[in-house]
A and B are shown apart, each in its own frame.
Chain A
Amino acid sequence: MNSFKAVFKRELKSYFTTPLAYVFLVIFLFFAGYLTFKQGFFEMRQADLRPFFQNLPLLFVFMVPSTAMRLWAEERKSGTIELLCTLPVTITQAVLGKFLAAWLFLTIALALTFPLVITVCYLGNPDIGLIITGYIGSVLMAGGFLAIGCFFSALSKNQVIAFVLSVVACAILVFAGMPTTLDYLSTFLPRGLVNAVESMSFQTHFDSIQRGVLELRDLSYFVLLIVGWITACGIILDERKAG
């Protein structure tokens, strides 16, 4: 437990001792606000945060891999992984410590979008339940993207490669669920396969949580996704840490 906490604390601190956290937060918050108001927030004449949540997957495709890419790639490149893995820390503790620290950081970033909530509350009477489930879905989605980013960061020593690979993987998972993609796929794929593609996508599950329905299958989708990619990350690290 000691070592898990130590890794977690160090990782979280390291975001804020480098300019990384501030650059990330400023850019994230700018685009979160910009995309929301650009896409008809006022024209809709409805006090809810739908435009904000709808744009989040697209924003996350770029922003989350940029926080995840350094997690292991940097550690392997600078050789500190040899230090970390010869301290009394298990791979599981190290992987979880780093992952949860990065997840907490992303949660903080999401929490800092609170002025949007205040805005809609000021403008009308939004459905608070809907906003809460929207945020829960966003946090889960951030975790899913992050787990994917963690995996690719462990796979490559090069941060740029890790970034590009995880952006592609995340983008595939998001766009697989877009109506246009599904329409196109249904022209030549059997129905069952199209449904399978749809239920593998982030978009589908995020949408249904965002509509205010917290269903077990959506929750278990994200939990499975996170656990799966994180486990794969641990296995890869154990294999490749010395290389």
Chain B
Amino acid sequence: MIKVKDLRRSFGSVVAVDGISFEVEKGQVLGLLGPNGAGKSTAMRMITCFIKPDGGTASVCGHDILQDPLGVRRCLGYVPENVPAYNEMTVGGFLNFICDVRGIKGKNRKKALDRVVPMCSIESVYHQTIETLSKGYKRRVGLAQALIHDPEVLILDEPTDGLDPNQKHEVRRLISQMSQDKCIIVSTHILEEVDAVCSRTIIIARGKILVDSTPKALKEKHHAGLDEVFRKITKTKGN
């Protein structure tokens, strides 16, 4: 459902993403793993059509990111890093705005809200303004926003960053729950997360793909925990 072909992007003289290619199918949860500044967010921003690639292309559900960016945006849900949201709005107002933009109206809107609000457990803060929410709630509002149109493709940039262990567990449970009928990309530098939710993992550093495998195969191959494998791969292969 997601096909990435030789995607590149640089900022000035810094090459952020240097020709990455991969494919993700329905039912897969792909963990994009890498040290900070490896190019994970940049890659995600290109797939979600926020920034344009310098070279290469990608397609999501058959829509090309260069030819049909609106089609791409319609069929994916995206939670950017740090989960930006309009702080002065209430949770309800914010979700209704997303419905407006996505053209979800009338009965469908009610259905969508009834599905997504309990799913992300944000009933209790529905009428609160977003700036008054704790980090955990903000993140769940961000997730609700991405799930409201029941997208086939979900892209989450560090979805558990800054959450407490209970909240992390909660978000991971949500991701696993949805994984069967969706195609999900999760970026992270937390290794236990990959173990917990991902069916496949790609390790990138300095904009290049170093490993494309499954967490299980990686551990077996190197006879070590993911932590050690990660250090080994990103430190030796990158140089």
User: DSSP majority for the A interface?
Assistant: helix
Which residues of B lie under 8 Å from residue A2 when comparing CB positions?
A: 100-103
The reply to whether A6 and B80 contact each other, CB–CB distance below 8 Å, is no
B230 at the interface (CB under 8 A from A): no
Which residue on chain B has the smallest CB distance to residue A81?
B84
The reply to whether A89 and B85 contact each other, CB–CB distance below 8 Å, is no
Contact for B73 among A10, A17, A18, A88, CB less than 8 A:
A88
Chain B: residues with Cβ within 8 Å of the partner, total of: 25
Which residue on chain A has the smallest CB distance to residue B142?
A83
What is the bound-complex CA distance between A2 and B70, given in angstroms?
A: 13
* Distance to closest chain A CB from B150 (angstroms): 15
What is the bound-complex CA distance between A2 and B104, given in angstroms?
A: 10
* A-B CB contacts (within 8 Å), total count: 67
What is the bound-complex CA distance between A242 and B9, given in angstroms?
A: 12
Contact for B50 among A17, A85, A90, CB less than 8 A:
A85
A125 at the interface (CB under 8 A from B): no
Contact for B84 among A3, A5, A80, A88, CB less than 8 A:
A80
* Distance to closest chain B CB from A25 (angstroms): 17
* Distance to closest chain A CB from B11 (angstroms): 8
B133 at the interface (CB under 8 A from A): no
Which among B20-28, B30-38, B86-94, B120-128 touches the partner chain?
B86-94
Size bracket of the A interface = 20 to 34
* Distance to closest chain A CB from B34 (angstroms): 19
The reply to whether A86 and B50 contact each other, CB–CB distance below 8 Å, is yes
- Closest 10 A/B residue pairs (Cβ): A6-B100, A79-B84, A6-B101, A2-B103, A80-B84, A88-B73, A242-B51, A82-B80, A86-B48, A88-B74
Can you list 15 contacts pairing A with B, beta carbon distance less than 8 Å? A6-B97, A9-B100, A18-B88, A78-B87, A79-B80, A80-B85, A82-B50, A82-B84, A85-B50, A86-B49, A86-B73, A86-B78, A87-B101, A87-B102, A242-B51
